Chains A and B, each alone.
Chain A
Amino acid sequence: MTTTTPQAVLAPARAKSAADSAPARRKQGLQHGGWFVAPFLVLFALFVIWPLLRGIYLSFTDANISGDGAGFIGLDNYREALHDQLMWDALGHSAYFTLLVVPCITVLAFLLAMLAHHIERAQWLWRLCFFIPFLLPSTVAGNLWQWLFNPGSGMVNHVFGLDTPWLTDKSYAMLAVVLTTLWWTVGFSFLLYLAALQGIPAHLYEAAKLDGANAWHRMVHITLPLLRNITGLVIALQILASLQVFDQAVVMQDFGPGPEGATRTFVQYTLEEGFTSYRVGYASAISIIFFVIIAAVALARMWLLRNREEGGR
């Protein structure tokens, strides 16, 4: 919600200046402005706001999947969730996945972008190769790596001469999901970094060269500081996406929770409670807890950004 503050401050000011310069325009805007946003707002209200409110309501009930006979049970669902070891485990698995994926993807995407940016030939080829996996559906990426990690006829163990039980041992199962995710999604962050690198004006480097800065100095004093914003963006997008991991993990484990439940993610747990155990009320409660966690991360980022803008300039 913090981002609304600057807009809330800006909007009236803009309205005023428009009214001063073109009163007719303002009148027209008042007439039609609402109609522009109406179609979106209808869809948004039906499929985002309403489910959110409904989720909050259901979380205080013992509703089942058929939706009838829901009784109000107050905070019982939340009380139960606090002592639900499976939920904490699932949250732990999603957090563990996030902790591994985010730094790896950020560093890898940066390195790949530096590589593609500095090879002067066939730029399209590098972009194509690093980005192609991102175009695959998550389930295809999951199936493909399930096949690659297959203990008997899988290529990973064969190529590296290993004998690792990637998918069947609880200490490797999540690692396999992490490696799959790196291969599958690094291309997106790579493109963001590449675009940012190409946006750095060449004259900065030329000036630094004239002043005798070597390649290392140019990277530390020009490239890295100018990539700070994009790094913040990549990290934030990756944290939000990684916490919501689901597809690859379930596909790689044949829709099960993995060895000793090691790859049961938070999203998977809410769906199990809702659609397998038919406990819609409880599933809603833990979904709301999850929503609060995601919102807290997003708000923390906005807060950090605002602080930096205030302090930086």
Chain B
Amino acid sequence: MTVDAAQTRIKSRTRTPWTPSQIVLTLIGVAVSAVFLAPLAWALFTSLKSETEAVEVPTHWLPEDWTGQAWKALFETGNITNWFVNSLVVSVCVTAVVLLVSALAGYGFARTEFRGKAFLMGVVMAGLMVSPAVLGVPLFTTVQQMGMVDTYWGMILPQCAPAAMVYILYKFFQSIPKELEEAAYIDGAGRWRVFFTIIVPLSRPSLSAVGIFTFIASWNNFLWPYMVTNNPDLMTMPNGIATVMNSYGIQWAQLMAGGLMAGLPLIIVFVFFQRQIVSGVAHTGLAGQ
């Protein structure tokens, strides 16, 4: 990743001239970008119309009367702030737990020996194929048995056992030279100290990739919260917007405002941390190879 970063930096420093092919490519790029952004612009404009203007036929792009009505109604009548906090609590907890347990497990599988390791690793690999979408009903009845339906625990814990993240970190830890650890052992450091003072700092890029990816997945997760809670006070953003806001007959301006509220936090974070997120997504994705 550092090589990539260095390359882009060099590229941006040496300005290339506007050759005909660059002009054509840039124009295509602008056109394609417009196609990608147009739906979002449409959502934004709709949210700034009144409900009656939003459904007017024939439809038009820009509001004739710019109004913040829909946004105001969103905050005044709905539980959107509640959902926002729930989303934050769930995503932060899931990310923290996933980072901790999958880093430990990845290291355990990569660098320690214990009885049954090969077998357990096989089981974890098989677990890559199980997701709430595949086994939703049995997973729900399991969580029900534990008495965790309609609780934060029930929403958080089942999202905390991603075999994929363990596998990604396992592969990364295997690539760290063993000599680094061995030197520390000679100095008398124990396993845990080596893990926290040598391995974790060395793996910051991989860990942040896993963290970012987990956070995005958890913030946007719809299916599991949808199954595990019907309580509007416990819902997360994607969940509340899709179920509660749709249930009274759709008010499009308000729905678009809510959708933007759900999407904006990640978009803002992305704009600021683009490089890390891009390399994080590429890194976690590529690790599947």
Binding site for B on A (CB under 8 A): 1, 3-4, 7-8, 11-12, 15, 18, 22, 24-26, 28-37, 39-41, 43-44, 46-52, 54-55, 58, 63, 65, 67, 112, 115-116, 118-121, 123-133, 135-140, 142-145, 147-148, 152-155, 158, 183, 188, 191-192, 194-196, 198-199, 229-230, 233, 236-237, 240, 244, 246-247, 251, 254-255, 267, 270-271, 273-275, 280, 283-284, 287, 290-291, 294-295, 298
A12 to B46, CA, bound (A): 62
Q: Give me 13 other A-B pairs in contact (C-beta within 8 A), A44-B163, A135-B216, A183-B36 excluded.
A: A46-B161, A47-B139, A47-B143, A51-B130, A51-B142, A58-B141, A121-B26, A124-B274, A130-B33, A140-B259, A155-B42, A237-B288, A247-B222
**In the bound complex, do residue B8 and residue A1 qualify as a contact, i.e. CB atoms below 8 Å apart?**
no
CB within 8 Å of A: which of B126-143?
A: 126-131, 133-143
A287 and B138 in contact, given A39-B105, A136-B263, A138-B220 (Cβ under 8 angstroms): yes
* Interface SS majority for chain A: helix
Is B84 positioned at the interface, with any CB of A under 8 Å from its CB? Answer: no
Indicate if the CB atoms of A7 and B145 lie closer than 8 Å: no
- CB <8 Å contact, A148 and B134: no
Once bound together, how far apart are the Cα atoms of A1 and B140, in whole Å?
26
Residues of chain B at the chain A interface (Cβ within 8 Å) = 4, 7-8, 11-12, 16, 22, 25-26, 28-29, 32-33, 36-40, 42-43, 46, 54-59, 97, 100-102, 104-105, 107-109, 111-115, 117-118, 120-131, 133-146, 157-158, 160-161, 163, 166, 182, 185, 190-192, 195, 216, 219-220, 222-223, 227, 237-239, 241-243, 246, 252, 255-256, 259, 262-263, 266-267, 270-271, 274, 278-279, 281-283, 285-286, 288-289
CB of A158 within 8 A of CB of B29, answer no
CA distance A12 to B116 in the complex (A): 11
Q: Is the CB of B108 within 8 A of A37?
A: yes
Residue of B whose beta carbon sits closest to that of A236: B288
Closest-by-CB residue of B relative to A187 is B36
**A135 contacts which of B29, B118, B263 (Cβ < 8 Å)?**
B263
Is there contact, CB below 8 Å, between A274 and B140? Answer: yes
Which of B55, B107, B161, B278 has a CB less than 8 Å from the CB of A48? B161
What residues of chain A lie closer than 8 Å to B29, measured between beta carbons? 115-116, 119, 126
* A119 surroundings in chain B (CB, below 8 A): 22, 25-26, 29
Q: With the chains together, A229 CA to B55 CA distance in Å?
A: 47
Complex interface: chain A residues within 8 A of B11 (CB): 120, 123
In the complex, number of A-B residue pairs with CB atoms less than 8 Å apart: 329
Task: Tell me whether B266 and A24 are in contact (CB under 8 A).
Answer: no
Contact B118 A4 (CB under 8 A): yes
Are A274 and B136 in touch, CB under 8 angstroms?
yes
Q: Is A287 a contact of B135 with CB atoms below 8 Å?
A: yes
A1 to B125, CA, bound (A): 7
Chain A residues positioned under 8 Å from B157 (CB to CB): 43, 46-47
Binding site of B, secondary structure by majority: helix, strand, loop or mixed?
helix
> What is the distance, in angstroms, from A197's C-beta to the closest C-beta of chain B?
10
Are the CB atoms of B130 and A43 closer together than 8 Å? Answer: no
B141 touches A54 (CB 8 A): yes
> Which of A40, A132, A195, A240 contacts B104, CB < 8 Å?
A40
Which residues on B sit within 8 Å (CB–CB) of A144? 39-40, 42-43, 256, 259
Is A39 touching B138 in the complex (CB atoms < 8 A)?
no
B256 vs chain A, min Cβ distance (A): 7
| Assembled-state Cα–Cα distance A232/B12 (Å) | 31
State the 8 A-B residue pairs at the shortest beta-carbon distance, nearest first.
A36-B108, A33-B112, A55-B138, A137-B238, A40-B105, A195-B282, A139-B242, A4-B122
Return chain B residues, CB-CB under 8 Å to A284.
137-138
Q: B101 to A233, Cβ gap below 8 A?
A: no
Least CB distance, B152 to chain A, in whole angstroms: 15
A-chain residues with CB within 8 Å of residue B40 when the two chains form the complex? 132-133, 144
The residues of A that contact B123 with a CB separation of less than 8 Å are: 44, 49
CA distance A102 to B55 in the complex (A): 34
Q: Tell me whether B219 and A191 are in contact (CB under 8 A).
A: no
Please name all residues of chain A whose beta carbon is closer than 8 Å to the beta carbon of B227 when the two chains form the complex.
271, 275
* A139 & B222 in contact (Cβ 8 Å cutoff): yes
Task: State which of B136, B243, B274 has its C-beta within 8 Å of the C-beta of A271.
Answer: B136
CB distance from A247 to the nearest CB of B (A): 5
**Shortest distance in angstroms between B125's beta carbon and chain A's nearest beta carbon?**
5
> Which residues of B lie under 8 Å from residue A145 when comparing CB positions?
39
Contact, CB under 8 Å: A36 / B129:
no
